[in-house]
């Protein structure tokens, strides 16, 4: 009787150990898969940042670059751009470095590490080169977030300014549009929310023809890199 009891106790304990082992294995596999996915996602994000940095460094070895951060776009449909002189010799995979303040565009081919063309751009008009640059920039990765805030009584005013931001400053991503605390702002402001991007803020404000300023009293601090507070001067 004792031997039979000991056998069944040993049998039950063995089953429990095996069950716990299987459960532990699947839990480990699940956690390991989640960590792997997280690492892959982080690597993808980091690769984008590294690509922008590396391209700027590579082109900087070939020519003197303006002292501002470039917006980098990829040519994804070269045939569509062939009618534009700047893109006449472009190929899919080429990169376009756009310097807003310096008004310069550079067409660069990473595969051969050669500069294909350099051209001036005119911000805010229908210049063919500027139009082509804007088209290529559609694939650029925004680097900063911005919120548009309506400081006028005009309903939906921020919606009309949204495409201007996308055209002139593709490195900005409009994450929200909202109303200001007041409706009688006379001057539109471009605001560096944290205050740690002063040099870039100057360039972006200039590109958008906005006054660089500080967050007015009474206005809530936005959860973005920059804030565009639209006033009466932008109504026309």
Tens of pLDDT, residue by residue over 60-109, are 999 888 888 888 888 877 887 777 788 888 888 888 888 888 888 888 99
148 and 125 housed in the same domain: no
Which CATH number do you get for residue 158?
Answer: 3.30.70
Name every residue whose Cβ is closer than 8 Å to that of residue 7 and which is 6 or more positions away in sequence.
none
Strand order through the sheet with 144-150 = 172-179, 144-150, 226-230, 189-192, 211-213
Compute φ and ψ for 97, nearest 5 degrees.
-100, 120
Tell me the C-alpha distance between 225 and 196, whole Å.
9
> Which residue blocks in 145-191 are alpha helix, DSSP H?
157-168
123 and 200 housed in the same domain: no
129 and 149 housed in the same domain: no
Average pLDDT taken over every residue of the chain:
76
Say if CB 187 and CB 233 are below 8 A apart: yes
Domain extent for 71: 56-139
* pLDDT tens digit sequence for 19-47: 555 544 444 444 444 434 433 433 333 33
Tell me the C-alpha distance between 33 and 168, whole Å.
42
Lowest average pLDDT, out of 124-138, 154-168, 215-229, goes to 124-138
119 in any annotated domain: yes
**Of the candidates 116, 71, 120, 61, which has an alpha carbon nearest to the alpha carbon of residue 94?**
116
pLDDT greater at residue 56 or residue 132? 56
Tell me the C-alpha distance between 226 and 171, whole Å.
12
Tell me the two tokens of residue 93: 């995979």
79 and 112 housed in the same domain: yes
> Looking at 139, 161, 193, which one is the last position of a domain?
139
- Count the neighbouring beta carbons within 10 Å of the beta carbon of residue 101: 16
97 and 161 housed in the same domain: no
- Is the pLDDT confidence value at 123 over 90? no
Give me the percent of the chain exceeding a pLDDT of 70.
70
User: How many domains would you assign to the chain?
Assistant: 2
5 in any annotated domain: no
124 and 169 housed in the same domain: no
> Looking at 120, 139, 158, which one is the last position of a domain?
139
Length of the chain, in residues = 236
């Amino acid at each position: 009787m004792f031997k039979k009891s000991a056998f069944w106790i040993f049998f039950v304990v063995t089953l429990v150990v095996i069950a716990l082992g299987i459960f532990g294995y699947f839990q480990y596999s699940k956690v390991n898969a989640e960590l792997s996915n997280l690492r892959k996602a982080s690597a993808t994000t980091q690769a984008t940042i590294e690509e922008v940095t590396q391209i700027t460094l590579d082109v900087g070895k070939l020519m003197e670059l303006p002292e501002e951060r470039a917006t980098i776009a990829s040519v994804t449909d070269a045939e569509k751009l062939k009618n534009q002189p700047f893109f006449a010799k472009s190929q899919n995979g080429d990169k376009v470095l756009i310097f807003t303040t310096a008004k310069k565009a550079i067409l660069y081919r990473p595969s051969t590490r050669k500069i294909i063309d350099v051209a001036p751009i005119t911000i805010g008009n229908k210049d063919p080169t500027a139009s082509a640059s804007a088209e290529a920039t559609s694939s650029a990765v925004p680097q900063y977030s911005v919120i548009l805030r309506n400081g006028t009584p005009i309903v939906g005013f921020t919606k009309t300014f949204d495409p201007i931001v996308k055209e002139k400053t593709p490195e900005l991503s409009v994450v929200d549009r909202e109303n200001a605390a007041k409706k009688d702002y006379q001057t539109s402001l471009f605001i560096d929310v944290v205050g740690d991007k002063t040099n870039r803020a100057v360039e972006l404000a200039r590109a958008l023809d906005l006054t660089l300023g500080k967050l007015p009293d009474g206005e809530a601090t936005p959860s973005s890199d920059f804030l565009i507070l639209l006033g009466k001067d932008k109504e026309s």
